[in-house]
Chain A
Amino acid sequence: MHIPDGYLSPSTCAVLYGAAAPFWYIALQRVKKVMTTRVVPLLSVMAALSFVIMMFNLPLPGGTTGHAVGVAIATIILGPRASILAISIALSIQAVFFGDGGITTLGANCFNMAIVGSLVAYAVYRLAAGRAALASPRRVAAAALAGYAAINASAFCAAVEFGIQPLFFKDASGAPLYAPYPLSIAIPAMMIGHLTLAGLAELVLSAGVVAYFQRTNPTLLTLTAPGNLAAEEEMAGAASPGMWRTVRPLWIGLALLLVLTPLGILAAGTAWGEWSARDFSNLRAREKMARASQNTAPPADPPRGLERLSSLWTAPFPQYAPSFVRRPAVGYALSAMFGSGAIILVSLMAGSLAARMRGKTP
């Protein structure tokens, strides 16, 4: 799962560094804010522990052994934010010091394992554990599920990153420059190993450690269990006005993207696969489709399903250009801004609703 240098193109690596950056930034801001508390040594030793855990050979059913990342157990004990940092640091030391995983691909590895892994583990664990008591067997099952889901989500991300390489990066003769296999091979090849061995290793570790703590030190499980002080504080922290400072870069980035939407007009042609039923009868549109599909001619008639379903729903802004706007460019930009605005509005409403509901529950 540790992607070495050379498997991903530099542009993919840059995008994944970019995708990981806001998560690191927010987590680090939080660390800086509570710098005088015990967070620095805690994160340091937990990162060291993650590193050591990655070296454990776990005995698996069937007599084999396997390595685990330990992302689910780190998330359950530390919460997702600290887990993102601790696992990222462990991965950095592995890459820079032990040459396990590349330096250019460090962003990708952290994105897959530390970020996606921690977030999936957190969501699955919270959902599956519900409000079960700390000593309940349900928590062991939830931890097992969280570990299994987290590692498979990470593997899936890695598989997609591998699989898109031959689509975009080829040399003059058409030979893939980086990971050579398309999605149809990369996804099954990665997932078979992770749905079985690696997934099982993570499952055994997460369930085993949660069961162990239930017997010996259940207070360690309180952070990600609802109805306790620490978890409530973390939630309150997330909704407080101080949060504005940490999410500000994200809002600025979003605003920048909105401002830049007119750039989309400069892109030539229609996005591949985003054709309407009418395009199949239009000669010029047909030419464009063939060009975009490696000179494979589109079928003479639109696919029947597309034809039937296209009349089912007419979006308020068909073709991204409302009829009252004469110039399509202005309409395009307006539609993009309206669309993004609507999504933000719905998210804010859902957030405030969730906060209100949380306030009502005892």
Chain B
Amino acid sequence: MNFFERTLASFLNAVEHALEAEELAKANGLLQRLDPRIKVIGILALIIAAAMAHKFWVIGAVFAVALALAVSSRVSLLLLGKRVWIPVLLFTGIIALPAPFVIPGRVLWRLPGLDWPLTAQGLLSARYLVTRVETAATLSVLLILSTPWTRVLKALRVLRVPVVLVVILGMAYRYIFLLLESARDMLESRRSRMVGELKGSDRRRLAAASVGVLMSKTLQLSGDVYSAMLARGFRGEVYVLDDFQTAALDWIMVAVFFVLAAGAFYYGR
């Protein structure tokens, strides 16, 4: 696969991911029905609890909670496996692989031939890393898959993120898809005019020129967007409509998240 195909594939992957998230966010599950503010704070608390835990079983328990949340929110475990568990295992697993042989500690076994010592502490540290990363990644993906981006952004206001930043984040997200499309069209049209293979230096020049063109287009786009904003009466003030309403389920889940996170903090010390 050359750089055209690889780049186009990663663009497609991003768009697919966004569509998938949008579809799932519409499903009628537990997390989807929750007030985004409660969801963001609750899941953040669980991620922090998993990150702070000093005991393996506590991390496992938080992971079990994440699984329960996924099932009750109609997020298929197959999707989680494909999106989170396998990629994380491949990446973090490879990073953690040498740890049992490198970390000093009580020797359990020696690798025949090479005589490398496999230590208990090393095994434990590899297990900590992989389970912690899997748990946190599952929780954050659940948050993303169950909440439309605009709602996540509004919920960020509760966490005291400045309104300017929320607006910029929202606008940036919107234009990502426009720019992805623009970049895809550009690469596709170039590819359709190609006969045979390009030299390495030509490929690099082409990639740099594509980024350059995209950058010029982006700067022009920012001018257009600004004119449009002025035309609609933008005077430098930003308002975000907070139209959240909490129901009984939200308050029950506040209590559930609180108990779970507090338990994980307490027992994980």
Contact = CB atoms under 8 A, between A and B. Distances in A.
A208 B84 contact: no
Contact of A47 (B83, B172, B208): B172
B158 interface: no
Contacts of B120: 173, 175
A73 B211 contact: yes
Interface in A45-104: 45-49, 51-53, 55-61, 63, 65, 70, 73, 77, 85, 89-90, 92-93, 95-99, 102-104
Contact of B208 (A48, A98, A205): A205
A180 B226 contact: no
B215 A92 contact: no
Interface stretch (A213-221, A253-261, A338-346): A213-221
Contacts of B200: 59, 61, 63
Interface in B122-171: 122, 124-126, 128-129, 132-133, 135-137, 140-141, 144, 149, 152, 162, 164-165, 167-169, 171
Q: Is the interface of B mostly helix, strand, loop or mixed?
A: helix
Q: How large is the interface on A (under 10, 10 to 19, 20 to 34, 35 or more residues)?
A: 35 or more
A204 interface: yes
Nearest to B134: A6
Interface stretch (B3-11, B107-115, B188-196): B3-11
Residue of A103, A104, A179 with most partner-chain B CB within 10 A? A103
Contacts of B222: 38, 41-42, 44-46
Contacts of B50: 5-6
B263 interface: no
Given A9-B51, A32-B164, A55-B11, A99 B172 contact: no
B169 A209 contact: no
Contacts of B211: 53, 56, 70, 73, 205, 208-209, 212
Contacts, number: 256
Contacts of B102: 180-181, 185
Interface in B78-136: 83-84, 88, 91-92, 96, 99, 102-103, 105, 120-122, 124-126, 128-129, 132-133, 135-136
A65 B213 CA distance: 20
Contact of A93 (B44, B121, B172): B172
A216 to B, nearest CB: 7
Contact of B226 (A38, A172, A213): A38
Contacts of B207: 56, 58-59, 204-205, 208
A7 B135 CA distance: 12
A201 to B, nearest CB: 10
Contacts of A45: 171-172, 175, 179, 218-219, 221-222, 225
B141 A99 contact: yes
B169 A7 contact: no
A4 interface: yes
B137 A5 contact: yes
B97 to A, nearest CB: 11
A28 interface: yes
Residue of A52, A97, A220 with most partner-chain B CB within 10 A? A52
Contact of B172 (A89, A172, A176, A208): A89
A6 B172 contact: no
B215 A44 contact: no
A217 B220 CA distance: 12
B168 A47 contact: yes
Contacts of B221: 45
Given A48-B172, A49-B179, A180-B125, A212 B209 contact: yes
Contacts of B226: 38, 40-42
B169 A93 contact: yes
Nearest to A162: B95
15 contacts: A5-B50, A6-B129, A48-B173, A48-B178, A52-B214, A57-B6, A59-B3, A85-B168, A89-B168, A103-B47, A103-B140, A173-B121, A178-B132, A180-B96, A185-B102
Interface of A: 4-7, 9-10, 13, 28, 31-32, 35-36, 38, 40-49, 51-53, 55-61, 63, 65, 70, 73, 77, 85, 89-90, 92-93, 95-99, 102-104, 166, 171-181, 185, 204-205, 207-209, 211-213, 216-217, 220
Given A6-B132, A102-B140, A176-B121, 16 more contacts: A4-B136, A28-B165, A48-B171, A56-B7, A56-B207, A85-B168, A95-B140, A96-B152, A97-B152, A103-B47, A174-B105, A175-B128, A176-B99, A176-B125, A208-B205, A217-B216
